[in-house]
Amino acid sequence: MKFPTTQNSILPIRSFIVLLIGCLAINLSLCFSSFPSSIKTLNVEGHFSFDNNEFAARDFGNRFRFLPSAVLHPKSVSDIATIIKHIWQKGPGSKLTVAARGHGHSLQGQAQAPQGIVINMESLSGQEMKVHTGRFPYVDVSAGELWINILHECLKFGLAPKSWTDYLHLTVGGTLSNAGISGQAFRHGPQISNVHQLEVVTGKGEVTICSEEQNADLFHGVLGGLGQFGIITRARISLEPAPKDDFSTFARDQEYLISAQNTFDYIEGLVIINKTGLINNWRSSFNLQDPVQASQFKSDGRTLFCLELTKNFNPGEADKIDQEIESLLSRLSYIPSMLFMSEASYVEFLDRVHAAEIKLRSKGLWDLPHPWLNLLVPKSKIHSFSEGVFGNILTDTNNGPVLVYPVNKSKWDNRTSSVLPEEDIFYLVAFLPQAVPLSTENDGLEHLLSLNKRILDYCEEANLGVKQYLPYYTTQVEWRAHFGQQWEVFVRRKSAYDPLAILAPGQRIFRKAISNL
């Protein structure tokens, strides 16, 4: 498969979306309250751990560390129901809360439960995955399963999930509790738009099967619901035929590409600002099409807009795909000498971030703070956003990539809990830096966090209608503003499925009311 990459040098930045990743500041809580001895006597198939639970007080954001009183390592869904029902039956007099933890990729402590119970959902991984072929194929999986494992299992049947995230070593329950967005979202919608059925344990400890036809309110509530209404324990995920071989391509003009009938299969853009040594530092898996001309290109002091595109093809279709790519690229505006191409297998492409993870871990760079910021920007405001953020706030992208790509709202289900801008097309903008601990320079945590705040303040002052993806707020007033008209439905669902606010305290949306009676 061919993978072209194109870059445009544009000083006045035009349409794109930005996801910001910021630096990290660590808050550590090691306080303990008296732990109910009744927890230790519960009959579960798995087990509780009361010591050495520091892993449950950390996440990828590496900023907040709240130690739980215990971690449940469940072996069955009934284990999860047992602990939640036990806390529910204790009523408002109990201070215990529960948080489900997948692969620990939250950014700001959302999957932590200070002095509460963390459920290690990965303990449920390894359960049988049931792939159903036919006209409308799907796979039934545990919510603790990693997407990379689901990919490998489905490929045995020539199938694959339709929508992904860029990083596949995340759990199903974790991404479905947010949305699950990547370059396929313009075509298939997010991952939460490709789910047929869920098994959920509510805040009352009730195990419920839900879908669009059965318990639909709970179904739509938990999808993108930030863990507030129940813990997803199993999911039925829609599949499609997987390409039989390699694919890749690269180009520009995203809004044209996502509206075209014959277009690429994956479209993600990124912004590069004042990046030094761009040619030598570009992904080693890409090959320059014109190395002589490219060697004369200077990226220092410039703002570049790049597109990463892929095209799926089967064996024997290489010549045809070359013609399609050439035709698509001919409609785009890009610097010809800055065209990079590569071929990769289907699995290699989807799991590409994991390869980077291995390299970063070997250098001790994976566990650095990740103060990421993810924004959804309405199409009508993306020009103002780019002028304000890329023109005035962000001076370089040397601390991490900045992704920018448009998404069709029609591919999302408005009955889910996800919060989106009020336009048919919006951009995902993702800033993905990593912070250097103790640094007081531009790569330090405090500096990166200040950039995040400046960007958010600008969006607020300019009234851009921006929504946070993977949102982080600390007050209910802020959450109310985030959800807007969806707040009443969100509160009603919380009252119906988790009335004691036992679940997901790390999201900081609802605080459990404690009664001394």
CA–CA dist 123, 73 (Å, integer): 6
Catalytic residue check, 488: no
In the three-class reduction of DSSP (H, G, I as helix; E, B as strand; rest coil), residue 490 is classed as helix
Nearest by Cα to 26 from 449, 349, 320: 449
CA–CA dist 436, 399 (Å, integer): 9
Q: Where are the alpha helices (DSSP H) in 250-381?
A: 254-259, 278-281, 291-294, 318-330, 346-350, 352-362
| Proportion of the chain in helix, strand, coil states, percent, rounded to 5 | 30, 25, 45
CA–CA dist 171, 165 (Å, integer): 11
Catalytic residue check, 166: yes
Work out the number of other CB atoms within 10 angstroms of the CB of residue 489: 15
Residue 191: DSSP 8-state: G
Amino acid identity, residue 312?
N
Catalytic residue among 73, 86, 103, 105: 105
Catalytic residue among 140, 152, 166, 240: 166
In the three-class reduction of DSSP (H, G, I as helix; E, B as strand; rest coil), residue 76 is classed as coil
Nearest by Cα to 224 from 512, 511, 482, 495: 482
Buried b (16+ CB within 10 A) or exposed e, 367-401: ebbbbbbbbbbbbebbebbbebbbeeebeebebbb
CA–CA dist 77, 180 (Å, integer): 23
Catalytic residue check, 319: no
Name residues whose C-beta falls within 8 Å of residue 203's C-beta, 6 or more positions apart in sequence. Answer: 84, 88, 229, 230, 497, 498, 499, 500, 501, 502, 503
Q: Is the dihedral of CA 419, 423, 425, 430 positive or negative?
A: negative
Helix (H) or strand (E) holding 494: helix 487-497
CA–CA dist 477, 459 (Å, integer): 18
Catalytic residue among 59, 268, 308, 351: 268
Measuring CA to CA, how many Å separate 379 from each of 256, 386, 444, 485, 496? 13, 11, 32, 20, 35
- Cβ(143)–Cβ(123) under 8 Å? no
- Cβ(19)–Cβ(374) under 8 Å? yes
Q: Is the dihedral of CA 431, 468, 99, 512 positive or negative?
A: positive
Active site members: 105, 166, 268
